[in-house]
Chain A
Amino acid sequence: MYFQDLLLKLEEFWRSQGCLIQQPFDIEVGAGTFHPSTFFGVLGPKPWKVAYVQPSRRPVDGRYGDNPLRMAFYYQYQVILKPAPDDFQDLYLESLTYLGLDVKKHDFKFEKDDWKSPTQGAWGLGWQASLDGMEISQFTYFQQMGGIDLNPVTGEITYGTERLSMFLQGVESAFDLKWNADHTYGEVLLEYEKDRCDYNFEKSNAEMLFKSFDLYEAEAKSCLKNNLVYPAYECTCKCSNLFNLLDARRAISVTERERFMQRVQDLSKSCARAYVKRLKAAEASEPAQPVS
């Protein structure tokens, strides 16, 4: 199955489960959980089911395209089910079968992996799903987002699409994946990956990144003062990505690291609180309120 067909199949499966099929978030993020459909969507009491592809940037994970599994840029597939259904694990396994994976032929494990996103003020308990020792998904019962206890509890699945596709195509490296009949993943992204790594590790202008961080942080705060929840959140995501870039550049020391993460987390929490406040106000005035 081509890489693009895997993404389509995931869309199909989750659409049939009643998920809203959302489009990717257009700001640089490290994971699908940053998409407003997840960050804001899991807050508040209303049911919400959504699924989407999220291009994700992990500067420190880049290996110049030399490592078959690790990339600075890749595609996550994110599913949010709120509330988490009782047969959540089964649904996930069903989705793998739907993709054509015969799980019984492999060593499939739900391995303890408690998920935590410090910059988002979020955590949950769950597992990484591993197939023959390779992590292919993250599977979590969200307990908190933006520092706020979630009620109801949300179930979240993040698929590593390249890794799943590698199993289905039987190839050794993500860059060898057939994207469609004519092109490989490497043709589309290898040069980009190399450039990104060179930039992330060696050439980025740390001073510019530090300055940008400060500017976006200030902007987020000023947005929050004006009750502009979404723009404030977008600036927060910018800060998170800038922090990741600084980290890859090794421009931040160990202790400073904590402080930077704390700054982003503070912003995330403020955004979440502002959003919940808005939800409550809307609830008080009129019943209907769209989620994000």
Chain B
Amino acid sequence: MSRDFLLEIGVEEIPPKVVPELGQQLATLAQELFRENRLEFESVKAYYGPRRLSVLAQNLSEQQPDIEREVKGPAKKAAFDTQGHPTKAAEGFARSKGLSVSDLIVKKTDEGEYLYAKELVKGKRTPELLTELLPALIKKISLPETMRWDDSGLRFIRPIRWLLGLYGEESIKFTLGRLESAPETQGNRFFGQRKIPVKTIVEYFEKLEANGVIYDQEKCLRIVKDALLQHTAQFKAKHTAPESLLEEIANQMEHPTAVLGKFPQEYLSLPKEVLASTLIEHQKFVPFVAGDQALPYFVGFRDGPEDTDGTIKAGYERIVKARLFDARFFFENDRKRKLSDFAKDLRSVVYQEKLGTIWDKVERTRRWAVEIGKRAGFGQLPEIDKTAFLCKADLVTSMVGEFPDLEGIVGGIYATLDREPSAVAQGIREHHLPKNAGDPIPESAVGTAVSLADKLDTIVSLLLTGEAPTGSRDPFGLRRKANGVIKIALEKQLNIDFFQLTRDTEEMYSFLGKHKGFEIVEEFFSERLYQILLQEYNVPYDILNAVLATRDGNSARVLRKVRSLEKIRGQKEFTELVIGFSRARNITQGHSSLREFDSQLFKDEVERDLWRAYLKAESQIAKLAPNEDYAGIIEQLLKLKAPIDTYFDAVLVMAPDRELRQNRLGFLNKLVALFFTLGDLSKIVVEGQSAAMEPKNAPRKS
């Protein structure tokens, strides 16, 4: 026995970028709600658009199943007197459940024996249940921003204006804030009826369709794409709108219809990136290019039927003309000077109160960049320096003032127009990358060096001045920038130790006087590296904790260590090695200052065995470490497994004799240090033993 269920939340225009996410969330929450309440269903599907979030559940059971539940009563001691007759407490409890004392059962609990009554809980009818639960369901949707709009205190992304709940042909009544649900929906804002009565779910979809609402968002997106395909075929060109724009357009409309517009040829003299930004960023219009040449056409979308008399086309063309006029105004203004002149203007632009001007920042970036170029073996040092010098110059151009998203791109264009080397132009363009998670990293060596340099200076200088991000507050985007540095290092397999590099550039920051110290930089990077490897490289947290227990500023090397440990983990002898090592690690905790030992003082043969094994392994590892042969190092360490086990079985490390004890601890510390070439293996979780569990935290200092 089941019927279909539909919920529709009517909302004033939801920001298009979050429409799909909210729609999907509602469907997920609905499924959770059904499961929690033991309602069976066949499938759940989300429908969403700018003015409505809907969810359709097919074959939702009509009733919760009855369940039996045990209700706790008085303690057995209080329920029966010394003769074993039921007391008033027992009788009262039984009566309250409509049972006799003989129906009650006795159960053992942690607090002793208690009487229990078995109670049958009748399942509720689904419509009643939904009336109760739908308001909470809607409130559960998590939102990127919220607002109030009336005195109910209800918050949502935009005002909710109608609510519709249908279970088969039954309208579900429920209340949310000041709003009551009603068996009604609304059509397209301009091309549909307001207040459309709906009796059935089939009718709901039919009436939406008839009232200018394409309720299937995938279909909306298809319409947008098909329209563009038609024009790209017509122009023998391609459009340059990113997928995200097309989705945004589709999610902003209930009935998208393309309108083709044209702009005057004269504006084709503008760089094509500027043309594209003007159309895309300001107007959400789609531009076209044929080969490398921009075309004087664009497509916009209106929500409704065809623009039959050209009113909309004329309107679009007017606004585009005004926008392009503005863009040209900026471009021509900027081109009166060279990019290097703009670079000099940076002397008067404050970067940050304690860090001087952007010019000062650029000077530091130049030194970082050249140093990185040298260490990474990039060559092209003059180009790297020139790029670093020019990379921020476009910040003071009118064009970037108008289109902040074109930062870097405008610099690249102007550099080309100034006849700078193409490596420099490309470097300027790439030096922002990756800006956000998911962005590509710089392709060229010059771009890579300057991107790293710019980010490193930002991170180091702001951390040193005490601007470390806290909680969700990261006003300078330092986490994102550090993630960028690490991603570049990992993907390009750069053999640069950033900690070494930072220490080598230390004197650049001496102007700060007393600062937070470089320790904070290393901690910050280690934490970011931990998060990236955990989340994006799927490295188990315990292996990360093990490897990051020793500070390593070479991200690519850290990853290699991690991978070698991942390979061996789970193998029996490695597990035993970890257990054995953990004994050494644990017993030396708190005695790490003892580093000296005298082999003459070893008493047992077992001790000397381990010492000899240690010496052998150490000399081998010293040869393997520079080549980063971690598999080889693990092999050497594995040879220590048996001597370690024998050692701990036979030797009392914490001997009563102080000298003997300290000698043994000193030796074990050396042994532990040898393992640290790879990491603190005691942090690796092995079966039957719990290692340091810190799944969500950053690595602790060892």
Contact = CB atoms under 8 A, between A and B. Distances in A.
Interface of A: 63, 66-70, 83-84, 86, 89, 103-112, 114, 124-125, 127, 131-134, 141, 143, 151-153, 167, 172, 253-256
B318 interface: yes
A255 B350 contact: yes
B159 A255 contact: no
B319 A132 contact: yes
A207 to B, nearest CB: 15
A53 to B, nearest CB: 24
Given A66-B329, A67-B325, A127 B319 contact: no
A110 B15 CA distance: 9
A interface majority secondary structure: mixed
Nearest to B309: A105
B231 interface: no
B352 interface: yes
Contacts of A63: 326, 329
B148 A103 contact: no
Contacts of B12: 89, 110
B326 A67 contact: yes
B350 A132 contact: no
B623 interface: no
Contacts of B309: 105
A125 B322 contact: no
Contacts of A151: 148, 151
B302 A107 contact: yes
A254 B259 CA distance: 39
B285 A133 contact: yes
Contacts of B329: 63, 66-67
B330 to A, nearest CB: 10
B145 interface: yes
B300 interface: yes
A41 B192 CA distance: 37
A256 B350 contact: yes
Nearest to B305: A104
B147 interface: yes
Interface string B547-584: 00000000000000000000000000000000000000
Contacts, number: 106
A133 B149 contact: no
Contacts of A68: 318, 321-322, 325
B350 A141 contact: no
Contact of B322 (A69, A84, A86, A104): A69
18 contacts: A67-B325, A70-B326, A86-B150, A86-B161, A104-B191, A106-B312, A106-B315, A109-B13, A112-B15, A132-B319, A133-B285, A134-B318, A151-B151, A152-B151, A253-B348, A254-B395, A255-B349, A255-B350
A255 B145 CA distance: 27
A107 B325 contact: no
- List 8 tightest A-B contacts by C-beta distance, closest first: A132-B315, A107-B302, A112-B15, A255-B350, A110-B13, A125-B147, A133-B319, A253-B350
Contacts of B318: 68, 132, 134, 172
B151 A131 contact: no
A133 B315 CA distance: 7
B303 interface: yes
B34 to A, nearest CB: 32
Given A105-B312, A253-B350, A256-B350, 14 more contacts: A66-B325, A67-B322, A67-B325, A106-B312, A106-B315, A107-B315, A107-B316, A108-B190, A132-B312, A132-B316, A133-B320, A143-B147, A153-B149, A253-B348
Residue from the set B252, B309, B316, B322 with the largest chain A CB neighbour count within 10 Å: B322
A134 B326 contact: no
Nearest to A163: B319
B406 to A, nearest CB: 16
Interface string B301-312: 011100101011
A132 to B, nearest CB: 2
Nearest to B259: A107
Interface in B131-187: 145, 147-151, 158-159, 161
Nearest to A104: B190
A152 B319 CA distance: 37
Contacts of A141: 147-149, 159
A104 B181 CA distance: 29
Contact of B315 (A84, A112, A124, A131): A131
Contact of A133 (B300, B353, B395): B300
B161 A133 contact: no
B303 to A, nearest CB: 7
Given A69-B322, A112-B13, A104 B304 contact: yes
A109 B303 contact: yes
Contact of A153 (B150, B311, B348, B350): B150
Nearest to B257: A107
A10 to B, nearest CB: 21
Nearest to B285: A133
A69 B13 CA distance: 26
B477 to A, nearest CB: 15
Contacts of B13: 109-112, 127
Contact of B16 (A84, A112, A254): A112
B299 to A, nearest CB: 12
B322 A107 contact: no
A254 B349 contact: yes
Nearest to B308: A105
B283 interface: yes
A23 B43 CA distance: 59
Contact of A84 (B149, B285, B314, B348): B149
A125 B158 contact: yes
A105 B191 CA distance: 11
A83 B319 contact: no
B350 A107 contact: no
Contacts of B252: 109, 111
A106 B350 contact: no
A69 B329 CA distance: 14
Contacts of A67: 322, 325-326, 329
Contacts of A105: 309, 311-312
B351 interface: yes
Contacts of A256: 350
A58 to B, nearest CB: 14
Contacts of A109: 13, 252, 303
A214 to B, nearest CB: 19
Contacts of B148: 141, 143, 151, 153
A292 B12 CA distance: 31
Contact of A107 (B151, B161, B300, B395): B300
A255 B353 contact: yes
Nearest to B348: A253
A43 to B, nearest CB: 15
Contacts of A104: 190-191, 304
A12 to B, nearest CB: 24
Interface in B1-57: 12-13, 15-17
Contacts of B314: 132
Nearest to A149: B148
Contacts of B283: 133
B152 to A, nearest CB: 11
Nearest to A173: B322
A176 B351 CA distance: 43
Contacts of B320: 133
A104 B309 CA distance: 12
